[in-house]
Amino acid sequence: MQQMRDFKDFTLITPEGRITVAAHGGRAKCLQRLVRLGVPVPRTVALSFDEVLRIAEGHRPDTARLLAAFGRAPLVSVRPSSGDPDWGGPGAVLNIGMCDARADSLAETLGREAADALYLRFVMAYAEDVAHLDPEPFEQAAELGGGEAVRAALAAYEDETEQPFPQDPARQLAEVLRSMARAWETTSARLLRQARGAPADAGLGLVVQAMALGMGPGESGSGVIRMVDVVTGQRQVSGRYLRQSMGRDALGRSEEAIYLAQDERGPSLESEQPGIFDQLTEIAERCRARLREEMEIEFTVVDGALSVIDAVRVPRSARADVRIAVTLAEEGIITPDDAVLRVPPRALTELLHPQVDPAAPRDVLLKGMAASPGAAVGKLVFSSEAAQTAASQGEPCILARRETTPEDIRGMHAANAVITERGGMTSHAAVIARGLGLPAIVGATGLRLDPRRRRAITASGRVLSEGDVVTVDGSTGEALKGAAPMLEPGLDGPFRKLLAWADARRDIGVRANADTPADARMAQDFAAEGIGLCRTEHMFFEPARLTVMREMIFTDNSTDRAAALERLLPMQRADFVELFEIMAGKPVCIRLFDPPLHEFLPSDREGLRGLAEALDLPLSDVTHRVEALSEFNPMLGLRGVRLGVTLPEIYDMQARAIFEATVEASRRAGAAVVPEIMIPLVSAKREVELVRGRIDSVAVAVKTETGQEFDYRLGVMVETPRAALRSGEIAQHSAFLSFGTNDLTQMTYGLSRDDAGRFMGTYVSQEVFPEDPFHTLDRDGVGELLLLGAERGRRTRPDVVLSVCGEHGGDPDTIAFCREAGFDYVSCSPFRVPIARLAAAHLALRARESVGAGAADDGLED
C-alpha cells in the first residue's frame, strides 16, 4: 500500500508521514504518535482540512481508491479531527461498507444474528446522520429484531428517499464524508465553536480507519482504559470492557460491561484476561509517558488480539486536573512550568468550595445570579437575628433577604449561604459573600420575600417557610429543595504544591482583602503576601460597639465625640493586635473608616425606638437626627476622608489604635511591625495633608507615651476619577497608591454597583458593555485612569507602591493589566488569592516564552 503515501488527497498514517495538528487536526496527529510509539493501531488514513473543505464545497473524492487502501471489502469508520476537541464536530460513523453482500459474508464468520445487528446499526446511523431522515420508522423497524428488522429498515429507507439503500461501499463512504464536511460548515456549528474560542477559519480533518469489530469468535470486545481516576486525579486503572461490542459501547452500556482492573464490585478484564490486561496497561503507561498526558484509550480485542482505535485527553474535574499536572511533573514527565500552565486559574474556584454533586438529581426552587461560588445546605431564615440564633445552636442556615446592608454582616457571618431578592453581581450581598467565601444567589428572579410572615413565594408559586431545608448552589445560581449530596473542597497537597510552583514563577505580588481575624487566617492559609485592604468599619457592628458608635454619632461636640471614641479605642487596638499577630510580620494595610454614619443607625420604627431609649432622648429627636443624616446618594456622600476631615476624632482614634497595637504586637513578636494606613475616597491633595498632619501627631504622641519607636506608611486609596487625575500631587504625601477599582468603576461610569443589576444583563447581552465592568476591568476607561494615575504618581515619587484592591484584584485579566502597568501587587478576597497567584504565574511564564504553551496544553507534539 506504499502508493497511498503518494496520494495527493489522502495520507496514510505511518510513523514517517507528514501529519500535523495544523493541517489534519488533533486526532490524526495523536493517532500518528500512537503509531510511532508502536501501538497496534488499525490502518488509518487522514483527510486534511483542505481536502475536507473541498468536499464540503462539492468536490467528490475518489472513495473507491481510498477504500482500496484498506484491502478487499473492508469496513471502515470515519471520525472528526479538528484543532481542538472542545470545538465540537460531527459524530463518528462506524461500519461503512455494510451492505447485503457484506452482511451475508459476515454471517459466515460472526453468525447471522451479529451480521444482521451490524447491518441494522449501519442503516440506522446512515439514515439519520447522513440522509437526515426521520428516525421513527427505523426505530419501529428495529423493534422487529433479526433479519426482519434489517429488511424493514431497508424498506423504510427506500420509502423515505425513493432510492434503494446504497449498496456500493465507495458511494456510502463518499456520502458520509460529504455529510460530515458539510456539517462543519453550517452557521450554527460555526457560531458554537467560535463561542468556544475557535478561530473563524478553524478547519476539520477526518480520519478513516479500518474497523476492528470486537465481535466474533474467541475473546472479542471493546473498551476504554485510563490510568487515572477522573474525579480525584489519583493514579489508578479505570475504564470498562464489553465483550462482543465495538466503539464506545462499553461506556454506553456500562451495566453490561466489566471493570478493567481487579475490582470487588464485579468481574474484571485483569482477572479474566490478564495477558490482554497487561498488554493494555503497558500501552497506556507508554502513551502517558510519551504523550505527557493522562489519556483515555479506546481499544478493541479481536479474537484475543489488541488494537488501539483512538486516544483522547482524559476529561477531568478541576481537582483531578491539578493532581494530574502535579503528578506528571513530580514524575519528571512534564516540567513544573508546564504543570503550572496546564491548570486554568479560574478552574481553581471549583476546588475552593464544596460543590453540589453533579450526578445528583436537582429540584430547582429558584434561580438568580451565581454571585459567589460553592454550595451549602441549611435551614431557611429571613433575618440576621434568626441566622445568628441558628448558628448559636450549631444549625446550618441559609439567610434570605430582599437585599443585605452592613447591618446584616453578622447574619451573613452566621449563615452558610445567602439568597437575595434584589441586587446584582456587585451588590453588597454579592461582594461580602465572595469575601466571606459564602455561596450566594442574588437578584433571584421572581422571588417575593415576606419577612414578617417568615415565608417567601418563588416565581413558580412555591411557598418556602422559615426552617425549610434548602441547598444553595452558588456556582449555578440555583437553590434546590432539601439537602443535595455534596463534594468537599480539594485544598490538598497537589493544590499547595502547584501554587508553590506558581509563586516561584510569578513577578507581581498577591495580597488578600481581609477585615476580620477569620479572613486574615484564610489569607494566611492561602499564602497571601499580606493584607492589601483591611476595612475597619465592619469592626463596629458588634452589638457592644454599635451602641457606642451610635452614641458617638449623636454627640454634638468634639469633646463628647472623643470621649465616645475613647471607649472604642481598646476594642480597635485589640482588633489590630490580633491581625498583626495572625499575619506574623507580613504587611497589613488598614483602610481608615469609610462608610457614611447613617449606615450605623436603624431605619425602622422599632430600631429608632430602641435607640431613643438607649440614648435617653425623645423619639422625635432621634428620628429627626436619623433622617437628617440620611443621604440621597450615600455612595457619593459624607464618607471616607470627608468624615476624616469633618469629624477628625474618628481617624485620631483609629490611628492611635493602630499605633498602640503596633507597639504591642512588635513587643510580643520581638520584631518590628510596620503598619500601612490607607485614606479612602480622596479627591484632593489637601485632604491627605490634613489627615496626614493629624496621624503624624498621634504617632508622635504614642511614641512619647510608650517610649517605643516604630515606622508606618501612609497612603491613599485612589477610587475617585479626580484622585487618579491628581495622583501626581497626591503622591507627594503617599507612600503607596492603591486603586479601589470598585468605586473607581462606579464613578467613571456613573454607575452604582448596587443598582446596575437591574440592567447589566441587558447591557452585556446587547454588547453595550463587552463585559460587566465590575467583573472585568474596563481597560479603555477605568484602565486609562489607572495608567494615568500610576504614571503621574511615579513621576512625583518613583518608589511609590502601586496596587489594585477590590473585586477586580482577583481577576486574571486585571492582573495581566496591572502586571503590564508595573504595579507592585494586587489584593483580592482571600478565596480568590489562589486564582490570582496562579494567574500571575501564567502571565510571567507566557511573558518569558520559555515554554511552548501549545505543546504543553495538548501534549500532542513530539
Residues tagged active-site: 428, 805
Residue 749 as a binder of a second copy (CB under 8 A): the answer is yes
Residue 617 as a binder of a second copy (CB under 8 A): the answer is no
| Nearer to a second copy (CB atom), residue 355 or residue 720 | 720
622-641 residues in contact with a second copy (CB under 8 A) are 624, 627-628, 631-638
Radius of gyration of the chain (CA): 33
Residue 571 as a binder of a second copy (CB under 8 A): the answer is no
Residue whose grid cell is 502517558: 288
Residue 719 as a binder of a second copy (CB under 8 A): the answer is yes
Least distance in angstroms from the C-beta of 442 to a second copy: 13
Residue 181 as a binder of a second copy (CB under 8 A): the answer is no
Please report, for residues 179, 421, 481, 541, 832, the alpha-carbon distance to residue 376 in angstroms, rounded to integers and kept in the order given: 47, 18, 12, 25, 19
Contact, 448 vs 457, CB < 8 A? yes
Stretch that binds a second copy, among 301-309, 409-417, 460-468, 775-783 (CB under 8 A): 775-783
> E-assigned strands of 562-674?
588-591
| Nearer to a second copy (CB atom), residue 454 or residue 642 | 642
- Cell numbers representing residue 176 in the block: 458520509
Least distance in angstroms from the C-beta of 720 to a second copy: 4
Contact, 225 vs 284, CB < 8 A? yes
Least distance in angstroms from the C-beta of 677 to a second copy: 19
| Nearer to a second copy (CB atom), residue 149 or residue 681 | 681
| Nearer to a second copy (CB atom), residue 521 or residue 722 | 722
Of the residues 60, 448, 462, 795, which one makes contact with a second copy according to CB under 8 A: 448
Residue 765 as a binder of a second copy (CB under 8 A): the answer is no
Least distance in angstroms from the C-beta of 689 to a second copy: 9
Stretch that binds a second copy, among 41-49, 233-241, 284-292, 762-770 (CB under 8 A): 762-770
Cα 610 to Cα 574: distance, rounded to the nearest angstrom: 28
Pairing relationship of beta strands 801-805 and 825-828 according to DSSP bridges: parallel
Least distance in angstroms from the C-beta of 769 to a second copy: 6
| Nearer to a second copy (CB atom), residue 280 or residue 418 | 418
Pairing relationship of beta strands 825-828 and 305-313 according to DSSP bridges: unpaired
Residue 764 as a binder of a second copy (CB under 8 A): the answer is no
| Nearer to a second copy (CB atom), residue 106 or residue 723 | 723
Residue 746 as a binder of a second copy (CB under 8 A): the answer is yes
Please report, for residues 83, 90, 176, 178, 196, the alpha-carbon distance to residue 181 in angstroms, rounded to integers and kept in the order given: 15, 8, 9, 5, 20
Residue 795 as a binder of a second copy (CB under 8 A): the answer is no
Least distance in angstroms from the C-beta of 652 to a second copy: 16
Contact, 630 vs 619, CB < 8 A? no
Residue 751 as a binder of a second copy (CB under 8 A): the answer is yes
Whether the CA torsion 589, 595, 600, 603 is positive or negative: it is negative
- Taking alpha carbons only, the member of 432, 418, 414, 490 closest to residue 830 is 432
| Nearer to a second copy (CB atom), residue 541 or residue 769 | 769
Least distance in angstroms from the C-beta of 795 to a second copy: 15
Residue whose grid cell is 435617653: 616
643-682 residues in contact with a second copy (CB under 8 A) are 645-646, 681
Q: Is 779 exposed, middle or buried (0-12, 13-18, 19+ CB in 10 A)?
A: middle
- Cell numbers representing residue 102 in the block: 457484506
Of the residues 203, 373, 721, 809, which one makes contact with a second copy according to CB under 8 A: 721
Cα 415 to Cα 387: distance, rounded to the nearest angstrom: 6
Stretch that binds a second copy, among 378-386, 574-582, 730-738, 764-772 (CB under 8 A): 764-772
Please report, for residues 94, 541, 607, 629, the alpha-carbon distance to residue 626 in angstroms, rounded to integers and kept in the order given: 76, 17, 11, 5
Stretch that binds a second copy, among 238-246, 554-562, 739-747, 813-821 (CB under 8 A): 739-747
Cα 430 to Cα 355: distance, rounded to the nearest angstrom: 18
Residue 758 as a binder of a second copy (CB under 8 A): the answer is yes
Please report, for residues 76, 354, 745, 781, the alpha-carbon distance to residue 428 in angstroms, rounded to integers and kept in the order given: 60, 23, 15, 24
Residue 781 as a binder of a second copy (CB under 8 A): the answer is yes
Query: Which residues lie below 8 Å from residue 68, measured CB to CB, with a gap of 6+?
Result: none
| Nearer to a second copy (CB atom), residue 284 or residue 641 | 641
Least distance in angstroms from the C-beta of 761 to a second copy: 10
| Nearer to a second copy (CB atom), residue 557 or residue 646 | 646
Least distance in angstroms from the C-beta of 565 to a second copy: 19
Least distance in angstroms from the C-beta of 328 to a second copy: 44
According to DSSP, residue 127 is labeled I
Residue 83 as a binder of a second copy (CB under 8 A): the answer is no
Cα 445 to Cα 757: distance, rounded to the nearest angstrom: 12
Query: Which residues lie below 8 Å from residue 626, measured CB to CB, with a gap of 6+?
Result: 598, 601, 602, 603, 608, 611
Residue 334 as a binder of a second copy (CB under 8 A): the answer is no
Contact, 384 vs 407, CB < 8 A? yes
Within 297-444, residue ranges assigned H as helices are 318-330, 336-342, 348-352, 384-392, 409-414, 428-436
Pairing relationship of beta strands 440-442 and 369-372 according to DSSP bridges: antiparallel
Of the residues 136, 201, 488, 767, which one makes contact with a second copy according to CB under 8 A: 767
Angle between helices 169-185 and 49-56 (to 10 degrees): 90
Residue 687 as a binder of a second copy (CB under 8 A): the answer is yes
Residue 463 as a binder of a second copy (CB under 8 A): the answer is no
**Number of residues counted as binding a second copy (CB under 8 A):** 54
Of the residues 759, 846, 847, 850, which one makes contact with a second copy according to CB under 8 A: 759
| Nearer to a second copy (CB atom), residue 778 or residue 811 | 778
Of the residues 743, 772, 807, 811, which one makes contact with a second copy according to CB under 8 A: 743
- Cell numbers representing residue 213 in the block: 469489530
Residue 763 as a binder of a second copy (CB under 8 A): the answer is yes
| Nearer to a second copy (CB atom), residue 436 or residue 691 | 691
- Taking alpha carbons only, the member of 744, 731, 729 closest to residue 777 is 744
Of the residues 40, 344, 569, 769, which one makes contact with a second copy according to CB under 8 A: 769
Residue whose grid cell is 454634638: 556
Least distance in angstroms from the C-beta of 766 to a second copy: 7
Residue 784 as a binder of a second copy (CB under 8 A): the answer is yes
Binding mask 370-409 for a second copy (x = CB under 8 A): --------------------------------x-------
Of the residues 665, 785, 815, 833, which one makes contact with a second copy according to CB under 8 A: 785
**What are the φ/ψ torsions at residue 228 (nearest 5 degrees)?**
-150, 155
Least distance in angstroms from the C-beta of 256 to a second copy: 51
Ramachandran area for residue 184 (φ above 0: left; ψ -120 to 50: alpha; else beta): alpha
Of the residues 14, 752, 776, 796, which one makes contact with a second copy according to CB under 8 A: 752
Residue 603 as a binder of a second copy (CB under 8 A): the answer is no
Cα 76 to Cα 829: distance, rounded to the nearest angstrom: 55
* Residue 4 CB neighbour total at 10 angstroms: 19
Of the residues 762, 798, 799, 862, which one makes contact with a second copy according to CB under 8 A: 762
Residue 766 as a binder of a second copy (CB under 8 A): the answer is yes
Q: Given the rule CB under 8 A, which residues bind a second copy?
A: 402, 422, 448, 624, 627-628, 631-638, 642, 645-646, 681, 683-684, 686-687, 690, 719-722, 725-726, 743, 746-752, 754-756, 758-759, 762-763, 766-769, 778, 780-782, 784-785
